Amino acid sequence: MSDTATSSADRPSPGSGPSTTASGASIDHGGRPTPRGTVVVTGAAGGIGRAIVDELVARGQQVLGVDLADGIVDALAPVEGARGLRADLGDDEGRADVLEVLGDEVCAGLVNCAGITRDGLLRDLDDETIALVLEVNAVAGAALAELLAPRIADGGAIVNIASRAALGNVGQVNYATSKGMLIGLTRALAHQLAPRVRVNAVAPGLIATEMTAAMPEKVLAKLTARVPMDRMGLPAEIAVAVADLLGPDTSYITGQTVFVCGGRSI
């Protein structure tokens, strides 16, 4: 998807109009080039979220990174083109804060990346724990998309970070359900917002971040052994897919879930 022969500095800047493929073909993006404006990235203090922020600013995009983590504002302060907002996206107030901070800024897109795990077999999970995972991983993404969609400029895009776990994992019934919801949201919202705004999902497999570092080593080794590419993925490998789906070169892709999982979903 990404043109690996082209460095990010060589790529056309977002909103610069029709682009040209490596073979010289011109893509006019249906008259809707990727708009300039802010991309909101949630979960921006996490491993994958931060990699997405870094990839987007390297491509010339402005980013508002939102996270529950206290350090988010300081972490993004030195990053040119990015700024941070601390907000709990698990409730309406935190989601409203995002709108307030944006003010009347034009929005170019939204990446719903904030997520949590509370693993366990269904019989061991209480209702509160199940509800929390569904709220943060899926309901928050839907609510933010609803709030921001009217402000996303024509040609903008939404990318939801789902998971390969949506296909099913032992002990992740709540997490897998939440990610399945995100994939359904992606497809339904893509219908609703077309042709103005595209909506896609990226479903990572095992990626080396704090989330997977929290897993027992034995479990991790067992899971990695099932990955055809024979290793865990890197946050940057997710970020490139996300940035491509937000960018002008994927102007005819909407409602899709791209599995970036080293072949684990095959």
Ligand X SMILES: NC(=O)c1ccc[n+]([C@@H]2O[C@H](COP(=O)([O-])OP(=O)(O)OC[C@H]3O[C@@H](n4cnc5c(N)ncnc54)[C@H](O)[C@@H]3O)[C@@H](O)[C@H]2O)c1
Question: Which residues are designated catalytic?
Answer: 175
Q: Does 68 bind ligand X (CB under 6 A)?
A: yes
Residue of the chain from 1, 116, 220, 234 that contacts ligand X (CB under 6 A): 116
Q: Rounded distance, CA 109 to CA 37, Å?
A: 8
Distance in Å, CB of 212 to ligand X, minimum:
5
- Complete DSSP assignment for 164-180: GGGG--TTBHHHHHHHH
Residue of the chain from 63, 114, 148, 185 that contacts ligand X (CB under 6 A): 114
* 6: its two tokens: 């082209």
Q: Rounded distance, CA 96 to CA 114, Å?
A: 16
Site pattern 213..252 for ligand X (x: CB under 6 A): ----------------------------------------
**Stretch touching ligand X by CB under 6 A, among 4-12, 95-103, 112-120, 240-248:** 112-120
For residue 201, the cross-strand partners are 160, 257
Q: Rounded distance, CA 87 to CA 82, Å?
A: 16
Residue of the chain from 33, 204, 248, 262 that contacts ligand X (CB under 6 A): 204
Q: Rounded distance, CA 65 to CA 41, Å?
A: 5
Number of Cβ within 10 Å of residue 119's Cβ equals 19
Site pattern 134..173 for ligand X (x: CB under 6 A): --x------------------------x-x----------
**Cβ pair 178, 137 in contact under 8 A:** yes
Site residues (CB under 6 A) for ligand X? 42-43, 45-49, 67-69, 88-90, 113-116, 136, 161, 163, 204, 206-207, 209-212
